[in-house]
């Protein structure tokens, strides 16, 4: 392969794809293109620790030596506008171009915008990049009142972090509960109760209809019920949209993301796509999904590298995710889609409990709060295709371990 692999997007997916190509023995050129002027960094700490610590630095995913030592041509500060499909090259600024044999689109997603009056005021921010996190850190250190639009993971992580730093924080969520799209109602209400106990104000079932400002700076968020919430900082965390435009313009099929098959190939076989931007038929639920998690980005990246070097395995990684909201470590494994019965273990009063979700007798997901053992066991059980009995779930980790070991000791029948 003379032109090798070009990867657009140097986030969790793109960096892992570059690393995995080398781990898989790919010895052609690998070019990794990122639009930021930083070494690629971990995003999860941004909403959890970075914004509260004036000394915090970005956490690089890999040191500089990793790129040079593995002959990965990392090109920061470069935005790609166009793929020349017929010529198998990317058009760069000026007259330059970059040819590829395989192209991996790892372009991620960007914050959804809220079309309300005042959204352009200074002090209104979304969090996706280190630059956004720096801005939030600076603005929050000089303000008393913060309004967060959206009660999803990122909004609530920021709410807990800024509240712990002494700010008055109000979360406004349009749905009637927090984390509505992503976790069981019992978890959403537990999170709400604990955040409220720390002094975070939470409004559900309402939205902000406009933002008011003074001298171009935000001063208040006004709800649809007419309540005026003072705010020197407004954070919009109402979800993300996939960065599909580059693919779309090249005629690659998209539908809520860049559509990929089980080997991460798009409708153009030389182009693969991975991470937040990739939409695929999930091996577990049969639905088309686009998952936004570090696990999904890195596991798809590993598979894309294997596809390029000639393996044919299909994507079958068990999905998992975590979020730290104040004193709650939330961990999710599997997908709850279609779950029809559930078992709760542990105590909400102790801030330690898990919900096991089943379809019939088949374990499909576990959601945990401060019960990392349940989560880790869940990952092992689901990877092995093992569903525990409900009695074993209730009996606890030792029973689950024993039953899983017994299941794995039985040779598979052909
Ligand atoms: C604040 C925050 C906290 C998070 N916390 C968690 C967590 O606790 N647990 C978890 O599992 N996940 C978490 N996530 C989600 C996780 O970070 C994402 O799922 C992951 O970053 C997806 O990786 P990616 O490589 O697909 O996309 P990204 O990381 O978004 O990387 C894509 C990159 O491609 C660039 N790009 C796009 N188009 C072009 C172009 N045309 N030319 C050049 N560059 C381009 C983008 O600007 C971006 O830098 C969090 C995300 C954020 C923002």
Whose C-alpha lies nearest to ligand 1, atom 11?
293
For ligand 1, the distance from its centroid to the CA atom of residue 43, given in whole angstroms, is 7
For ligand 1, the distance from its centroid to the CA atom of residue 184, given in whole angstroms, is 25
299 membership: H or E segment, kind and range: helix 294-308
| Closest to 321 in 3D by CA, of 276, 280, 386, 255 | 276
Tokens 């990049």 belong to 129
Evaluate: CB of 257 within 6 angstroms of ligand 1: no
Whose C-alpha lies nearest to ligand 1, atom 22?
276
* Rounded-to-integer distance, Cα 213 and Cα 230, Å: 10
- DSSP type of residue 93: S
Phi first, then psi: give them for residue 72, nearest 5 degrees.
-100, 120
Distances (CA, A) of 145 to 51, 79, 206, 223, 236: 15, 36, 19, 15, 14
65 membership: H or E segment, kind and range: helix 64-69
Tokens 């809520």 belong to 256
Burial classification of residue 393, based on how many CB atoms lie within 10 Å of its CB (0-12 exposed, 13-18 middle, 19 or more buried): buried
End-to-end CA distance of the chain: 39
52, 70 in Cβ contact below 8 A? no
Evaluate: CB of 250 within 6 angstroms of ligand 1: no
For ligand 1, the distance from its centroid to the CA atom of residue 14, given in whole angstroms, is 10
Instruction: Report domain extents, the chain.
Output: 5-110+241-308, 113-238, 327-409
- What is the position in ligand 1's atom list of the atom closest to the CA of 14? 25
The alpha carbons of the chain give a radius of gyration, in whole angstroms, of 23
A 10 A CB-CB count for 25 gives 8
In a 3-state reduction of DSSP, which class is residue 408?
Answer: helix
Q: How many residues does the chain have?
A: 414
Domain 5-110+241-308, CATH number (from 2.102.10.10, 3.90.320.10, 3.50.50.60, 3.90.400.10): 3.50.50.60
pLDDT, tens only, 282-329: 987 889 999 999 999 999 999 999 999 999 999 999 999 999 999 999
pLDDT for 284 equals 79
Please tell me if the domain spanning 113-238 has the same topology as the one spanning 327-409.
no
pLDDT, tens only, 369-392: 999 999 999 999 999 999 999 999
For ligand 1, the distance from its centroid to the CA atom of residue 42, given in whole angstroms, is 9
pLDDT for 409 equals 92
How remote is the C-alpha of 277 from its chain's centroid? 10
For ligand 1, the distance from its centroid to the CA atom of residue 405, given in whole angstroms, is 37
Q: Which CATH class is domain 113-238?
A: alpha beta
* Rounded-to-integer distance, Cα 6 and Cα 271, Å: 10
Of 104, 294, 323, best ligand 1 pocket probe by most atoms within 8 Å of the beta carbon? 294
Evaluate: CB of 128 within 6 angstroms of ligand 1: yes
Tokens of 197: 């106990």
Whose C-alpha lies nearest to ligand 1, atom 31?
11
| Closest to 28 in 3D by CA, of 36, 18, 16, 14 | 18
Evaluate: CB of 14 within 6 angstroms of ligand 1: yes
357, 367 in Cβ contact below 8 A? yes
Helix, strand, coil share of the chain (percent; to 5) = 30, 30, 40
Bridge pairing between strands 97-99 and 208-214: unpaired
pLDDT, tens only, 240-262: 999 999 999 999 999 999 999 99
Beta strand segments in 155-294, E: 168-173, 201-204, 208-214, 217-223, 228-230, 233-236, 240-242, 258-260, 271-273, 278-281, 288-289
Whose C-alpha lies nearest to ligand 1, atom 47?
35
pLDDT for 414 equals 52
157 membership: H or E segment, kind and range: helix 153-164
For ligand 1, the distance from its centroid to the CA atom of residue 159, given in whole angstroms, is 20
Evaluate: CB of 259 within 6 angstroms of ligand 1: no
For ligand 1, the distance from its centroid to the CA atom of residue 275, given in whole angstroms, is 8
pLDDT for 93 equals 75
Evaluate: CB of 20 within 6 angstroms of ligand 1: no
* Rounded-to-integer distance, Cα 196 and Cα 314, Å: 44
How remote is the C-alpha of 204 from its chain's centroid? 23
Bridge pairing between strands 168-173 and 201-204: parallel
pLDDT for 19 equals 98
Domain 327-409, CATH number (from 3.90.870.10, 3.30.390.30, 3.40.50.300, 3.10.290.10): 3.30.390.30
A 10 A CB-CB count for 403 gives 19
Evaluate: CB of 243 within 6 angstroms of ligand 1: yes
From the first residue on, what is the mean pLDDT of each consecutive set of 10 residues in the chain (414 residues)? 92 98 98 97 97 94 98 96 95 87 98 96 98 97 96 98 97 96 92 98 98 98 97 97 97 97 96 98 89 98 98 95 98 95 97 98 97 97 96 95 94 64
């Amino acid at each position: 392969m003379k032109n090798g692999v070009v990867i657009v997007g140097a986030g969790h997916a793109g960096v892992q794809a570059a690393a995995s190509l080398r781990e898989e023995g790919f010895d052609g050129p690998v070019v990794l293109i990122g639009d930021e002027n930083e070494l690629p960094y971990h995003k999860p700490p941004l909403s959890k620790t970075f914004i509260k610590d004036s000394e915090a630095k970005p956490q690089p995913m890999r040191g500089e030596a990793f790129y040079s030592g593995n002959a990965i041509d990392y090109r920061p500060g470069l935005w790609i506008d166009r793929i020349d499909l017929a010529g198998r090259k990317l058009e760069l600024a000026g007259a330059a171009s970059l040819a590829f044999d395989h192209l991996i689109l790892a372009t991620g997603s960007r914050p959804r915008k809220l079309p309300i009056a005042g959204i352009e005021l200074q002090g209104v921010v979304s969090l996706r990049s280190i630059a956004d996190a720096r801005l939030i850190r600076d603005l929050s250190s000089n303000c008393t009142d913060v309004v967060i639009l959206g009660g999803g993971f990122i909004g609530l992580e920021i709410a807990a972090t800024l509240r712990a730093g002494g700010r008055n924080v109000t979360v406004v969520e349009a749905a009637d509960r927090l984390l509505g799209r992503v976790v069981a109602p019992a978890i959403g209400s537990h999170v709400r109760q604990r955040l409220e106990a720390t002094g975070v104000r939470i409004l559900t079932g309402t939205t902000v209809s406009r933002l008011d400002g003074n001298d171009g700076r935000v001063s208040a968020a006004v709800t649809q019920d007419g309540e005026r919430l003072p705010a020197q900082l407004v954070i919009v965390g109402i979800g993300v949209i996939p960065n599909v435009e580059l693919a779309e313009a090249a005629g690659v099929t998209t539908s809520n993301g860049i559509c990929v098959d089980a080997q991460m190939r798009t409708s153009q076989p030389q182009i693969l796509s991975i991470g937040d931007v990739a939409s695929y038929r999930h091996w577990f639920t049969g639905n088309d999904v686009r998952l936004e998690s570090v696990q999904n980005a890195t596991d798809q990246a590993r598979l894309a590298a294997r596809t390029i070097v000639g393996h044919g395995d299909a994507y079958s990684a068990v999905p998992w995710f975590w979020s730290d909201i104040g004193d709650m470590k939330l961990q999710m494994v599997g997908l709850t889609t279609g779950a029809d019965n559930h078992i709760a273990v542990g105590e909400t009063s102790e801030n330690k409990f898990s919900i096991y979700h089943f379809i019939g007798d088949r374990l499909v997901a576990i959601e945990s709060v401060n019960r990392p053992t349940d989560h880790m066991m869940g990952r092992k059980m689901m990877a092995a295709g093992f569903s525990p009995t409900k009695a074993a779930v209730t009996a606890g980790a030792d029973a689950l371990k024993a039953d899983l070991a017994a299941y794995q000791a039985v040779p598979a029948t052909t």
